[in-house]
C-alpha cells in the first residue's frame, strides 16, 4: 500500500516519492517534504494523527496461524483417520448408534482441539510480542523510547550498535556506522553507511545513506529520518510476496506426533491379529467387527496433542509472568537439560543501577555517596571549590554519552553507566544541553570492541577538542601525557604502571572502571585515539542483586554449574563473584585470551577452561568459542548476552538468553529466551519451569497411554478368551472423552515438585517416554485391565448379573480405576500424600467433574440408554469401588518400594 501524507505540501513536493527515492534527496528538502524539523522531531499530536492515517508500523506476522489452518490440523492426524474408519465400519454393519456416536466424538474432539490449540497458539503469539523491538526517537526536542510499531513517517530515530533498524530510514548523521543487511540483500559482510546523499538511482545494496527495516546495526551510531514504515518498506514489499511460513514445531511436539502415528500402526496390527485369531477359531464375524471397532477406539489417546499444546502454552505463560519470555518452543524442553549457565556480570548478577562512587585524578581520589554529595578529601570539598581538572572529567563523561536523563514525566533512557555520568555532572551543575550551546559538535566516534573507546569532537575557543572515554587500560595505553593541577606531564612507563595499579585497586573494591582523556588540535577529523591526555579514572558502583546468592546456590544444588563470563577487569569480576557466592578465596580468574576453539587447545588447556568459574576480559568471539568448548565436552549450555557481537554465541548456545532491559535488539532476536528483568534468578526460575513442563508432559503421556493400554487389554484378552465384550465401543468413547482428557489436562497444569531443582538435569539424549515410563504404563495398564476383567467375571458369576448390568459393573470399574490412576503419576521420590499432584487444585476439580459425569451416565435415563448402562445395586457399587482402588494401591506400593530402594524416606 503506497503511503500518502494527509494533505498536500504547499511547496509542491510529492511525499510519495520519499519512500523509494529518499537516498537521492537532500536532507533539508526531504525534511521539508515530510514536514519535520530534525532538531526537534515531530509533535505528539502530529505522530498520533499520522498513526491514525497510516496505521501501525507492523508487517503481517508470518507466524500467525489462521483459524482455518488450526481447524484443518485437527483433521489431518492418523488418530482422526482411524476413528473415521471405525465410524464407517459401524455404519456398514448397521450399528447406527455406534457410528453416530463416533461421529459425535470426532466433532467434540475436533472442537476441543480447535479451541485449545487456538488459545494456545494465540497465547504463544502474544508471548512473542512481549519481545518486540523498540526505537529511540526525538520528539518535541526530547529523546524517547517507544515501541517500533508506533513509528510514523517523518520520525527522527537514533540508532546504535546492536539495534534492529525499525523502519526504512534516510541517514542524517552517521558515526562509524556498519549495518548487516544480509537478510535483505544477501551480502555476507556488514556494509559501511554514511549520511552523504546519492545523486542518482542505485541498486538497493548500494544505497549507502539508507538503512532498512529488519537489518541490524553492527557498530557505530546514527540519526536518521523515517521515510517508510510497515508495508511501505523494502522488507514490507518482499514480505507481501512471501507466503506464510509453516509454524515451528519443537522436538517434543514432533515426538508426540510420531508417538501418535506409531500407536495407530500398533492398533491396526492388534485389530488384524485379534480379529484374525477370532475368525480362525470360529467366532462370529459381527462380534469380531465390533471388537475391532472397540480396539480402534480404545487404543487412541485422542487428547494427547491437545494436552501437549496446552501444557506448553501454560508453562510459557508461567515463565512470562516470571519475566522469562521464550522465543522458541524448542527452548522449553532444552531448559530442563541445562548443565552450565554462562552468565554476564553487569545487570545479571548485579543490579545495573550504577552510580559514580569515586573519581581519581592527579589531584587525588574523590568519594561520592549514592546521593552524589561529595565527601571531604583532605580539607577540601571538591565539588564546592571549582576544581578545574574535576570539571573537565565531568564534561568529558557528559559529552561522551548517548544517554538521556529523566525530565518530568519522561523517563531517562540509555546505558546505566552513561546515565550515572550524566547524573554526577548534573550534581556539579554541568548539563549536556548547556555544553552543546557553548560549543559546536563536529563528529562522534562510536564505541567499538576493537578500540574499547568512544570519542566525540567539539570546537572550543578556536581549538578542536576530542573527548574520550573507554576501558582504562586502553585509554592509558593511548595516552602520551597526564593532566594535573599545574599542567600536563609526559606519560612515562612509571606513570603508566601507576595508573594501571590504580585501576587494579578500584576494580578490587568492586568498582567498574572507566578512563577519561582529551586531545586538543587545530584541525578536524583527526584520528581521535592518538596522543591522548589522560584526565583520570571513574569508579562506578553496581551492587550485587539481593537474590543472586540464593539463585546460585539453587543452581549448584540442581547440578548446574554457573560460570561468570565478563568483559570487566579480573579484579572487578573476582570481587563480585565472591560477593554472590560464585567463587571462593582460592578461585582463579581465567583471562578470555586463554579461550580458543576446541581443536587448538591442549588437554591441559581444555581442563583449565572446563574447571574455571570466572572468565574476565572475554570478547564476544571468545564467548562463542567457550560455548563450543563446553558443548564438545557434552554440556548443555545456557549463555547470556546483550550486545550485537554476542549474537553468534547466543545462537551457538543450546539456550541463548538475551537481556530485555539493557540487551540490544539484535541479541534479543538471536536468543531463544529474553529476560525482561535481566536477573540471573530469572534464568534459574525458567530452568525450573522448563523441567516442570517436560515432567508434566511425560506425566500426562504416561497417564493417557496407561489408560488406553488398559482398554486395549480388556478388549483383546476378552476376545482371545472367548468372553463377551466387558466394555462396548460407545462406553470406551465416553471414557476417552471423560476419564482420560480432563485429568490429563490437570496433569499438564502442575506447578511441579518443590524438590525439582534438587535433582540433576535430565539426559537430553533420552526420549520423551523413557524405559521407566514404559514400564509404568505397562504395569498400570495391565492392573487396570485385570481388575476390570475380574469385575466383569464376578458380576456374572458372583452377583449373577448378565448383559448390560454386567458391562455396567466393568465400565464403572475401569472408569474409576483410570481416575484414581492419576495419583500414580507422582514422582517416586515425592511423598505419598503431599506431592505436586495432590496439591494441584485442577486435579481435584477434574476428578470431581468426571465422577459427576459418570453418575450422570448411569442415572440419567437418556444417556444410560445410549451407553447401554443399567443402574447398579449397592452390592455392585461395593464391588466397583473395591476393585477400582486396587491399581492405585498397587501403584503406590510400587512407588514406596522404589523410594526406599533409592534411599529416600517417606
Residues 719 and 794: beta-carbon distance below 8 Å:
no
Give the cell for residue 607. 581442563
Three-state secondary structure along 773-819? HHHHHHHHHHHHHHHHHHHHHHHHHCCCCCHHHHHHHHHHHHHHHHH
Q: What is the pLDDT of residue 5?
A: 35
pLDDT above 90 as % of the chain:
31
The whole-angstrom separation of Cα 133 and Cα 216 is 12
Residues 667 and 162: beta-carbon distance below 8 Å:
yes
Q: What is the pLDDT of residue 621?
A: 83
- How would you class 497 by CB atoms within 10 Å of its CB: exposed for 0-12, middle for 13-18, buried for 19 or more? exposed
Q: Which residue has the higher pLDDT, 248 or 442?
A: 442
Give the cell for residue 610. 572446563
Q: What is the pLDDT of residue 15?
A: 44
End-to-end CA distance of the chain: 68
344 is catalytic: yes
Least confident residue range of 56-60, 169-173, 210-214, 846-850:
56-60
The whole-angstrom separation of Cα 6 and Cα 26 is 22
In eight-state DSSP terms, residue 672 is S
Sheet holding 324-326, edge to edge: 324-326, 673-675, 655-659, 637-641, 340-343, 561-565, 614-616, 589-591
Set 168, 344, 753, 827: catalytic member = 344
The whole-angstrom separation of Cα 805 and Cα 709 is 24
Strand 673-675 with 655-659, pairing? parallel
Q: Which of 197, 221, 174 is nearest to 22 (CA)?
A: 197
CA distances from 513 to 28, 207, 369, 485 (A): 42, 40, 17, 22
Give the H/E segment covering residue 482: strand 479-484
Rounded to the nearest integer, the mean pLDDT of the chain is 82
Please give the full DSSP string across 66-129, using - where no structure is assigned.
-HHHHHHHHHSSHHHHHHHHHHHHHHHTT-HHHHHHHHHHHHHHHHHHHHHHHHHHHHHHHHHH
The whole-angstrom separation of Cα 641 and Cα 346 is 10
Q: Which residue has the higher pLDDT, 740 or 702?
A: 702
Q: How confident is residue 240, by pLDDT bands cut at 50, 70 and 90?
A: low
Please enumerate in sequence order all residues whose Cβ is within 8 A of that of 217, keeping only pairs 6 or more positions apart, or say none: 159, 160, 161, 162, 163, 164, 165, 177, 178, 179, 180, 211, 644, 666
Q: How confident is residue 279, by pLDDT bands cut at 50, 70 and 90?
A: confident
> Tell me: the pLDDT tens digits for 141-180?
888 889 888 999 999 999 988 788 989 999 999 888 888 8
Least confident residue range of 109-118, 187-196, 263-272, 510-519:
109-118
Least confident residue range of 382-386, 473-477, 766-770:
382-386
Q: How confident is residue 255, by pLDDT bands cut at 50, 70 and 90?
A: confident
The whole-angstrom separation of Cα 891 and Cα 208 is 70
Q: Is pLDDT above 90 for 666? A: no
User: What pTM does this model have?
Assistant: 0.73
> Tell me: the pLDDT tens digits for 377-403?
433 444 444 478 888 999 999 999 888
Amino acid at each position: 500500500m503506497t503511503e500518502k501524507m494527509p494533505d498536500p505540501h504547499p511547496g509542491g513536493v510529492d511525499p510519495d516519492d520519499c519512500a523509494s527515492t529518499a537516498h537521492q534527496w537532500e536532507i533539508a528538502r526531504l525534511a521539508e517534504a515530510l514536514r519535520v524539523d530534525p532538531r526537534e522531531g515531530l509533535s505528539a499530536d502530529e505522530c498520533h494523527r499520522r498513526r491514525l492515517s497510516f496505521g501501525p508500523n507492523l508487517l503481517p506476522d508470518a507466524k500467525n496461524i489462521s483459524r482455518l489452518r488450526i481447524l484443518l490440523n485437527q483433521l489431518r492426524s492418523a488418530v482422526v483417520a482411524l476413528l473415521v474408519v471405525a465410524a464407517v465400519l459401524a455404519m456398514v454393519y448397521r450399528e447406527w448408534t455406534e457410528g453416530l456416536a463416533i461421529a459425535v466424538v470426532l466433532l467434540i474432539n475436533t472442537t476441543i482441539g480447535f479451541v485449545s490449540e487456538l488459545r494456545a497458539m494465540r497465547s504463544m503469539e502474544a508471548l512473542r510480542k512481549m519481545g518486540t523491538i523498540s526505537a529511540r526517537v526525538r520528539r518535541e526536542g526530547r529523546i524517547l523510547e517507544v515501541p517500533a510499531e508506533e513509528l510514523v513517517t517523518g520520525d527522527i530515530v537514533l540508532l546504535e550498535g546492536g539495534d534492529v533498524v525499525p523502519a526504512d530510514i534516510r541517514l542524517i548523521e552517521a558515526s562509524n556506522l556498519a549495518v548487516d543487511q544480509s537478510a535483505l540483500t544477501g551480502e555476507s559482510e556488514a556494509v559501511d553507511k554514511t549520511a552523504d546523499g546519492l545523486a542518482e538511482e542505485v541498486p538497493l545494496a548500494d544505497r549507502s545513506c539508507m538503512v532498512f527495516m529488519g537489518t541490524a546495526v553492527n557498530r557505530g551510531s546514527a540519526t536518521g529520518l523515517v521515510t517508510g514504515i510497515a508495508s511501505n518498506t523494502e522488507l514490507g514489499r518482499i514480505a507481501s510476496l512471501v507466503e506464510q511460513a509453516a509454524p515451528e514445531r519443537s522436538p517434543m511436539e514432533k515426538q508426540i506426533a510420531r508417538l501418535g502415528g506409531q500407536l495407530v500402526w500398533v492398533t491396526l496390527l492388534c485389530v488384524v491379529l485379534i480379529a484374525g485369531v477370532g475368525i480362525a477359531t470360529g467366532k462370529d464375524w459381527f462380534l469380531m467387527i465390533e471388537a475391532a471397532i472397540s480396539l480402534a477406539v480404545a487404543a487412541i489417546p485422542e487428547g494427547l496433542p491437545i494436552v501437549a499444546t496446552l501444557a506448553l502454552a501454560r508453562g510459557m505463560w508461567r515463565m512470562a509472568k516470571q519475566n522469562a519470555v521464550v522465543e522458541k518452543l524448542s527452548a522449553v524442553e532444552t531448559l530442563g537439560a541445562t548443565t552450565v549457565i554462562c552468565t554476564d556480570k553487569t545487570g545479571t548478577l548485579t543490579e545495573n543501577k550504577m552510580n559514580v562512587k569515586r573519581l581519581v585524578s592527579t589531584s587525588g581520589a574523590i568519594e561520592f555517596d549514592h546521593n552524589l554529595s561529595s565527601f571531604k578529601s583532605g580539607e577540601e570539598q571538591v565539588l564546592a571549590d571549582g576544581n578545574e581538572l574535576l570539571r573537565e572529567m565531568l564534561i568529558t563523561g557528559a559529552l561522551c554519552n548517548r544517554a538521556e536523563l529523566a525530565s518530568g514525566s519522561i523517563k531517562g533512557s540509555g546505558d546505566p553507566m552513561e546515565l550515572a555520568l550524566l547524573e554526577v555532572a548534573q550534581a556539579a551543575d554541568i548539563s549536556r544541553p548547556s555544553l552543546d550551546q557553548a560549543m559546536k559538535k563536529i563528529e562522534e566516534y562510536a564505541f567499538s570492541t576493537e578500540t574499547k573507546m568512544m570519542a566525540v569532537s567539539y570546537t572550543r575557543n578556536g581549538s578542536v577538542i576530542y573527548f574520550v572515554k573507554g576501558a582504562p587500560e586502553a585509554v592509558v595505553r593511548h595516552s602520551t601525557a597526564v593532566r594535573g593541577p599545574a599542567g600536563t606531564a609526559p606519560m612515562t612507563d612509571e606513570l603508566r604502571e601507576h595508573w594501571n595499579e590504580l585501576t587494579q585497586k578500584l576494580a578490587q573494591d568492586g568498582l567498574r572502571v572507566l578512563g577519561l582523556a582529551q586531545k586538543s588540535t587545530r584541525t578536524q577529523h583527526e584520528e581521535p585515539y592518538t596522543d591522548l591526555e589522560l584526565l583520570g579514572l571513574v569508579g562506578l558502583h553496581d551492587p550485587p542483586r539481593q537474590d543472586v546468592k540464593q539463585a546460585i546456590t539453587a543452581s549448584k544444588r540442581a547440578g548446574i554449574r554457573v560460570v561468570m563470563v565478563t568483559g570487566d577487569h579480573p579484579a572487578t569480576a573476582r570481587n563480585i563473584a565472591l560477593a554472590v557466592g560464585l567463587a571462593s578465596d582460592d578461585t582463579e580468574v581465567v583471562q578470555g585470551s586463554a579461550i580458543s576453539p576446541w581443536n587448538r587447545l591442549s588437554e591441559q588447556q581444555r581442563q583449565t577452561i572446563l574447571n574455571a568459574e570466572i572468565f574476565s576480559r572475554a570478547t564476544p568471539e571468545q564467548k562463542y568459542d567457550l560455548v563450543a568448548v563446553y558443548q564438545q565436552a557434552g554440556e548443555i549450555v545456557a549463555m547470556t548476552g546483550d550486545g550485537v557481537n554476542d549474537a553468534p554465541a547466543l545462537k551457538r548456545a543450546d539456550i541463548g538468553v538475551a537481556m530485555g532491559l539493557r540487551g540490544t535488539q539484535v541479541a534479543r532476536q538471536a536468543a531463544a529466551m529474553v529476560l525482561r528483568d535481566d536477573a540471573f534468578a530469572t534464568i534459574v526460575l525458567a530452568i525450573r519451569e522448563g523441567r516442570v513442563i517436560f515432567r508434566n508432559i511425560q506425566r500426562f503421556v504416561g497417564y493417557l497411554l496407561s489408560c488406553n493400554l488398559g482398554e486395549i487389554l480388556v478388549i483383546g484378552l476378552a476376545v482371545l478368551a472367548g468372553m463377551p465384550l466387558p466394555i462396548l465401543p460407545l462406553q470406551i468413547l465416553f471414557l476417552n472423552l471423560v476419564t482420560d482428557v480432563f485429568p490429563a489436562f490437570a496433569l499438564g497444569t502442575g506447578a511441579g515438585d518443590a524438590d525439582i531443582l534438587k535433582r540433576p538435569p535430565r539426559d537430553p539424549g533420552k526420549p520423551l517416554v523413557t524405559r521407566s515410563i514404559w514400564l509404568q504404563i505397562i504395569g498400570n495398564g495391565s492392573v487396570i485391565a485385570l481388575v476390570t476383567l475380574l469385575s466383569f467375571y464376578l458380576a456374572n458369576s458372583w452377583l449373577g448379573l448378565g448383559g448390560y448390568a454386567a458391562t455396567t459393573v466393568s465400565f464403572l470399574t475401569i472408569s474409576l480405576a483410570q481416575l484414581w490412576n492419576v495419583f500414580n503419576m507422582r514422582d517416586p521420590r515425592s511423598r505419598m500424600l503431599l506431592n505436586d499432584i495432590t496439591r494441584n487444585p485442577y486435579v481435584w476439580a477434574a476428578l470431581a467433574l468426571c465422577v459427576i459425569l459418570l453418575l450422570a451416565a448411569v442415572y440419567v435415563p437418556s444417556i444410560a440408554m445410549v451407553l447401554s448402562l443399567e443402574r447398579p445395586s449397592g452390592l455392585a457399587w461395593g464391588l466397583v469401588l473395591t476393585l477400582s482402588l486396587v491399581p492405585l494401591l498397587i501403584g503406590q506400593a510400587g512407588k514406596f518400594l522404589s523410594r526406599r530402594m533409592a534411599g529416600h524416606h517417606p
